[in-house]
Amino acid sequence: MATLIAGLVVFLGVHLLPALPAFRSDLVGRAGERRYKGLFSLVSFAGLALIIAGYAMADRGAQLFAPQPWAISIAPYAMPVAFALFAAANMPGHLRQTLKHPMLIGLLIWATVHLFANGDLRGTVLFGAFLAYAIVDLMSAIRRRAIKTFEPVARVDVIAILAGIVIALVLMTFHRVLFGVRVVPFGL
């Protein structure tokens, strides 16, 4: 569990830097934009690797609460939405223009559904941390008015939606192989 927690601290900690604009600006000023982005990427990758390894190594732990039937039943429908929002986050489409922060909204959906569908200690630590991060970062982004302006293109919304559906279907199909739990009848 310690490796999982360390990974969450590293990964989510570095992703909270934009929520601290003065501190981030100071780091960019010291290192330069390119070096800052390179270090950001390296630290993110290291944190993600620790999360994956830590989750795989950690026991499920105590069952803190019963998995919620509503979360289990909506997961196959919520995940394509979450993944479409992830895809839309970096595309100049109407989804991004309307929602402003589709990646964080997608992360809220993903983390909330997974948190309530599990209930074990390991899952609660992982999904609870991502849920807390998404809430804090979304509030910060709204407060900072961190919005890019662009002319939306409808075809990228179609691409984001299709990509979200395809990625969700692939992950649901292989969920048992990857994470140990079969989540859909067609899953392997």
Q: What is the pTM assigned to this prediction?
A: 0.91
Residues 148 and 99: beta-carbon distance below 8 Å: no
Record the tokens describing residue 130, joined without a space. Answer: 């991502």
Q: Taking the chain (188 residues) in consecutive chunks of 10 residues, what is each chunk's mean pLDDT?
A: 97 92 90 92 97 95 97 96 96 94 97 97 98 96 88 95 96 92 87
Beta bridge pairs of residue 120? 63
Task: Report how far residue 77's alpha carbon sits from residue 94's, in angstroms, rounded to the nearest whole number.
Answer: 21
Q: Cα Rg for the chain, rounded, in angstroms?
A: 18
The full set of domain ranges for the chain reads 1-58, 62-188
